[in-house]
Amino acid sequence: MRETHAAEHQPTSTATTETAPVTTATTITTEIVLPGVVEVDGLEVRHVAAPTPGRGEVLLAMEATGVSFAEQQMRRGKYYDQPPFPFVPGYDLVGRVAATGPGVDPALAGRRFAALTKTGGWASHVVVAAADLVEVPDSVSSADAETLVVNGITAWQMLHRTAKVEAGDTIVVLGANGGVGSALVQLARIAEVRVIGTASRRHHDKLRELGVTPVDYRDPDLHGRLRVLAPNGVRAVFDHVGGEGVVDSFRLLAPGGTLVSYGTASTRDAAGSSKAPVLKLFARLAMWNAMPNSRHAHFFNIWAGKRRAAAFRERLRTDLGQVFALLAEGRIRPQVAARVPLSRAADAMRLAESGTVAGKVVLVPDSEVLEGEVPDGGRTSEA
């Protein structure tokens, strides 16, 4: 990874009035830059003056951020609506308020929050709108909370807002060992839902421990096996794989069942437009919904409804709050696949893409990780 230092000695604000940021001088942030379509080693580490929070914003000192599937797509230029290169990736983070901007309660300083950012989270200091902050319970570590920000919101909303599962239902979760998948299966079990989960064989024991019936997604007769396990069909299928397999997912539904499609992982490495597979999927889902077959098909998008900002934020705060409460009660087991220092984001990404991990690869400030804890970037198996 290339490392650059820029504007190292530019001070941030020195103002200390009620409405001004409370940082003083020379806070340097370390950030990871995605310069274009690159291999993981093409990520760049940059050291720059920390940004100053504007009106309604806070500066978070990052305590944990993480590698999501979105970053794997973004580094290939394959995420549906990613910003133009170069940019700092990072879908979410947990951090402590280091400075407050004008119009923000200065008493927030020092408190710990989670935030959903889509990009920008892979930095030691991140500016976030104060209205987007969700408090993290004191008893939960930042790394544990991080595993459930984007993953927990996505899983909770798909289960309870889109599919509206009920106790006694049976569902199928594809990629049950992944970040979203492991949150989905645990939340479903808490709701007393029977879960059949697909994953590589190496993850099956762990899934059984979570109360999931595992099936190998590489099995050529995957859908035949799923049918044997649920001969009358299932209440919902959660499919982030997309491609032609989504047809099989829809066929698994019982009458009244719901397909919740939420990604196109199978086309991550495909040549061509990042939008084409998604648009094709949308067309398919719309067609299935229009057919008189008593089954439903939805595409879940965590950002849907963002234009109605107040309602969007309220929903997000409520849902993540419920997930964090379950975490604090010990009813969800956080799945931290590894903790990796921020400036070794390339190793973290290599590990996340290795297909060996269960749960989420978490990035932490460089100062926090002991040498012994640092994984070797996926060159050996984690799982």
Residue closest to ligand NAP (Cβ): 178
Contact call for residues 189 and 212 (beta carbons, < 8 A): yes
Contact call for residues 264 and 272 (beta carbons, < 8 A): no
Closest distance of CB 184 from ligand NAP, Å:
9
Residue 217 or 312 with smaller CB distance to ligand NAP: 217
Residue 233 or 378 with smaller CB distance to ligand NAP: 378
Please report, as ranges, the residues that interact with ligand NAP according to CB under 6 A. 68-70, 150-151, 154, 174-175, 177-181, 199-200, 217, 240-241, 262-263, 265-266, 300-302, 352, 355
Closest distance of CB 334 from ligand NAP, Å:
13
Closest distance of CB 352 from ligand NAP, Å:
6
Nearest alpha-carbon partner for 162 in 333, 268, 276, 319:
319
How many whole angstroms separate alpha carbon 136 and alpha carbon 139?
8
Residue 69 or 324 with smaller CB distance to ligand NAP: 69
Residue 29 or 261 with smaller CB distance to ligand NAP: 261
How many whole angstroms separate alpha carbon 43 and alpha carbon 57?
28
Residue 134 or 150 with smaller CB distance to ligand NAP: 150
Closest distance of CB 211 from ligand NAP, Å:
17
Closest distance of CB 336 from ligand NAP, Å:
12
Specify the residue for token string 């040549």.
271
How many whole angstroms separate alpha carbon 81 and alpha carbon 285?
20
Residue 101 or 181 with smaller CB distance to ligand NAP: 181
How many whole angstroms separate alpha carbon 181 and alpha carbon 199?
10
Residues 6+ apart with CB under 8 A from 134: 113, 114, 115, 316, 317, 320, 321, 324
Specify the residue for token string 């829809």.
250
Closest distance of CB 177 from ligand NAP, Å:
5
